[in-house]
Structure 1
Amino acid sequence: MKTTILFGAAMILLAACAGEPSAPAPTVPSASAPAPGPAPEPDQCGAAEAQRFVGRPRSEIPAPVDPRLQRILCSTCAATMDYNPRRLNFVFDEKTGVVQQAKCG
């Protein structure tokens, strides 16, 4: 009797594993709702406010209150690639000294 029950249970487990799962039906996005894109990153470093320095000489960038949270980078110079969403980066053109970007990172 035990053998029959164990054999039956083994057959049920094998049958459950043997079947191929059916592919889910493709979903069609509705025309009225746009497909969701990646969520925009919040401005944690103040880059939106710092955009006023883009196009101006790097000498106009104020000294940072906390140097760990702001850096000024040359567009062609070496820099670390560590990402800090709270750090404000000013990128300037090496030849002209004009700020090209203000971004978090």
Structure 2
Amino acid sequence: MPALIGCTSADVAPVAAFALAKPNVVMAADPQPSFTYWAPENATIRNHPRQPGIWIAESPEGSRKHYFGDQCRASEFQRFVGHTIDALPEKPANAIWRLTCSKCVAQSDLGWTRMNVSYDQETRVINEISCGWNFRSHAAVHNSAKTASSILSSSISITDVTTRGARPARMDTLLAV
């Protein structure tokens, strides 16, 4: 089992314990995110227009990926992407992790310090590790709400969430960029 890296404060500039991917990106953000491993190749990274500490990578074809910083220390666990969830070390006592299969339903919420681990349900291979909002789970919840119309009269609404040290934010406002 791999050794865990010592606990650090979210206020300390993050430093990855191993080499992270460095995709070719156009950096249009100020301040810049600590890492770019999360951004697709050839994307342009910008700051979120209304919420500090969130970055958006937009690919040339128009798809967008959000990055919520590294308060959950996801950068330290990127080496497990491509491995089965059994390869993950034991969760530190003070950490918040959510393991969700990439097509499973999960609660739609924003947890700045929560590490989301998304994996393939059949192979159990990790396909993404990130902080904050779990977009794959949100899509699954949204699609499940549409197909279960006999149970739900409309698709789920995103409720207000409070983030540590920040004012309450509506997820639909954060994502509508």
Query: Which structure has the greater CA radius of gyration?
Result: 1
Q: Distance in 2 between matches of 1:35 and 1:84?
A: 22
Instruction: Tell me how large the CA RMSD over aligned residues is.
Output: 2.2
Distance apart, 1:91 and its partner CA: 0.4
Gaps of 5+ in 2: 1-27, 31-45, 48-53, 56-67, 133-177
Question: Alpha carbons of 1:67 and 1:98: their partners in 2 closer, same or farther (altered >3 Å)?
Answer: farther
TM-score under structure 1 normalisation? 0.59
Cα contact 2:69–2:131 (8 A) shared by 1: no
In the alignment, is residue 65 of structure 1 matched against residue 82 of structure 2? no
| SS, match of residue 116 in structure 2 | strand
Report Cα offsets for 1:26-52 as digits up to 9, x if no partner: xxxxxxxx6863164431111111101
Q: Partner residue of 2:131?
A: 104
Report Cα offsets for 1:4-58 as digits up to 9, x if no partner: xxxxxxxxxxxxxxxxxxxxxxxxxxxxxx6863164431111111101000011
Higher relative contact order (CA 8 A, sep 6+): 1
TM-score under structure 2 normalisation? 0.37
* Percent identity between the two aligned chains: 35
| SS, match of residue 110 in structure 2 | coil
Question: Alpha carbons of 1:78 and 1:35: their partners in 2 closer, same or farther (altered >3 Å)?
Answer: closer
* Length, aligned pairs only: 72
Gaps of 5+ in 1: 1-33
Question: Alpha carbons of 1:35 and 1:86: their partners in 2 closer, same or farther (altered >3 Å)?
Answer: closer
Q: Distance in 2 between matches of 1:84 and 1:97?
A: 23
Within the candidate set 108, 111, 129, 1:81 is matched to 108
| SS, match of residue 59 in structure 1 | helix
Q: Distance in 1 between matches of 2:99 and 2:106?
A: 10
Give the 5 Å matches for 1:2-81: 37-38=46-47, 40=55, 41-66=68-93, 69-81=96-108
Q: Partner residue of 2:119?
A: 92
Give the number of the structure whose residues are more often helix, by fraction: 1
